[in-house]
Amino acid sequence: MTATKKPKKRAKKAVLLPATGTKSDMPHVGRAVQGCRCPQCHTHRLEERRDERDRRQIEAAENDPMTGAVQFGANATDEFRNSLNGGQQ
Ligand SMILES: [Zn+2]
């Protein structure tokens, strides 16, 4: 047994605490780190892409009248229109 004990090496982290000091902004945990391939960062990037897709869909549907009526394309046949809404428009 040795008398002196080696001090434990501290894990190296790029940023120990974020600028805000809150855990919700911690790298890997609260947000993705650029170039990192860990599962947490992967999930953050996945969620960012989903958020972006949702944002685009919401933006595209912003001026949708949302009347509940079926909107037909110009090439829809009368038979098709009748089968869906009973012949209206
Ligand atoms: Zn990471």
Query: What stretch of H or E contains 5?
Result: none
Q: Is residue 80 part of a domain?
A: no
Q: Is residue 56 part of a domain?
A: yes
In the chain, the amino acid numbered 69 is A
Output the tens digit of pLDDT for each of the chain's 89 residues.
556 787 777 655 555 555 666 766 778 888 888 899 999 999 999 999 999 999 999 998 888 777 777 888 889 898 988 888 765 55
Cα 40 to averaged position of ligand 1 atoms, centre (Å): 6
Domain containing 44: what range?
Answer: 22-62
Residue 26: predicted pLDDT: 77
Q: Is residue 43 part of a domain?
A: yes
Q: Is residue 45 part of a domain?
A: yes
> C-alpha distances in angstroms, 74 versus 18, 33, 77, 85?
55, 48, 9, 16
Cα 41 to averaged position of ligand 1 atoms, centre (Å): 4
Q: Is residue 32 part of a domain?
A: yes
Residue 2: predicted pLDDT: 58
Q: Which residues surround ligand 1, an ion (CB under 5 A)?
A: 28, 33, 36, 38, 41
**pTM for this model (two decimals):** 0.49
Report how many domains make up the chain: 1
Cα 20 to averaged position of ligand 1 atoms, centre (Å): 19
